[in-house]
Copies of this chain bind each other. A is one copy, B any other.
């Protein structure tokens, strides 16, 4: 087993949720240990109120006696016996991420500098926007930039083109890096729990438009940012990460925007990392973060 930072070159990760029962941990770990798998990380949690069991377990495949393409078949009977919902992911699979932006560059630069530095296991084959402003940033990093101008009339049609493009390129994850369009329920349903948004407030305070203006008017002493999975309800999806920063009476709305941007960048990048590391489990419109 290994600490946070080091990842085995060849490992499998199971994310599991099911009704809580005695012997669950023993059954799962016996499946792995009994087939010569070495557990790298194990984290479990139980929501006592709802009686739901959650687990994330990652194990080294080097000496695992079941070949990768037979793991599902071997695992399924156990999973079925406990009525589990589960996902199996291999470290050899590199997710493909599309970044959606509008005109603000700060989150985009932060993501691309991490991507360039190899901080995450991910491919970024495209940047999508409803505006042309950030095309030069995409060009700086040599990433294709697709513009879909959107008006009330063209929205549906343009979204369909966007989804078609995402499918064609095998996109696994969509990141809204200050994309100032509300996605339709239709779009969202194509990528359940696979669209990550950054909202520039400490939700549930100040949902919707102009949160920094609202924070200024209310006279709060702390502002924040929230990263969440997008659902059909605006700014109401499962929260992945939040962070706050102190402000004071000297700060104008412009200062709030400036200080807030630093929090937005940080929160969005942390949420992306959790997702890419398969550390997020969603239930009841909430998240379990195994970090």
Chain A: residues with CB nearer than 8 A to chain B?
1-6, 20, 22-23, 25-27, 29-30, 32-34, 36-40, 42-49, 53, 105-106, 109-110, 113, 116-117, 119, 140-141, 202-206, 218-222, 224, 238-244, 246, 248-255, 257-258, 262, 266, 269, 284-289
Among A53, A238, A249, A262, residue most surrounded by chain B Cβ atoms (within 10 Å): A249
Known contacts A3-B47, A204-B205, then 6 further A-B pairs from the complex at CB < 8 Å, ordered by chain A residue: A6-B48, A40-B46, A105-B113, A203-B205, A204-B220, A248-B289
Which B residues are in CB contact (< 8 Å) with A30?
Answer: 26, 30
How far does the alpha carbon of A52 sit from the alpha carbon of B37 in the complex, in Å? 18
Residue of B36, B113, B219 near A239 (CB, 8 A) is B219
Contact assessment for A255 and B204 in the assembled complex, using a CB-CB cutoff below 8 Å: no
Contact assessment for B1 and A20 in the assembled complex, using a CB-CB cutoff below 8 Å: yes
Contact assessment for A113 and B117 in the assembled complex, using a CB-CB cutoff below 8 Å: no
Contact assessment for A250 and B36 in the assembled complex, using a CB-CB cutoff below 8 Å: no
CB distance from A252 to the nearest CB of B (A): 4
Which B residues are in CB contact (< 8 Å) with A105?
Answer: 113, 116-117
Given contacts A106-B117, A140-B140, is CB(A251)–CB(B221) below 8 Å?
no
List the number of copies, as a whole number.
4
The 7 A-B residue pairs with the shortest CB-CB distance in the complex, in nearest-first order: A219-B286, A5-B254, A1-B46, A109-B113, A5-B252, A3-B252, A26-B33
Which B residues are in CB contact (< 8 Å) with A250?
Answer: 3-4, 45
Given contacts A2-B48, A266-B262, is CB(A219)–CB(B287) below 8 Å?
yes
Residue of B42, B204, B220 near A206 (CB, 8 A) is B204
Residue pairs across A and B with Cβ atoms less than 8 A apart, 18 shown, are A1-B20, A1-B46, A1-B48, A2-B252, A6-B252, A6-B254, A25-B39, A26-B29, A26-B30, A29-B29, A42-B42, A45-B250, A48-B252, A49-B253, A204-B205, A222-B243, A244-B244, A266-B266
Given contacts A23-B33, A239-B220, is CB(A44)–CB(B42) below 8 Å?
yes
Residue of B25, B106, B255 near A4 (CB, 8 A) is B255
Contact assessment for A2 and B219 in the assembled complex, using a CB-CB cutoff below 8 Å: no
CB distance from A40 to the nearest CB of B (A): 8
CB distance from A97 to the nearest CB of B (A): 18
Which B residues are in CB contact (< 8 Å) with A218?
Answer: 203-204, 239, 286
Closest to A20 in B: B1
Which B residues are in CB contact (< 8 Å) with A254?
Answer: 4-6
Contact assessment for A43 and B43 in the assembled complex, using a CB-CB cutoff below 8 Å: yes
Which B residues are in CB contact (< 8 Å) with A238?
Answer: 219
Closest to A257 in B: B5
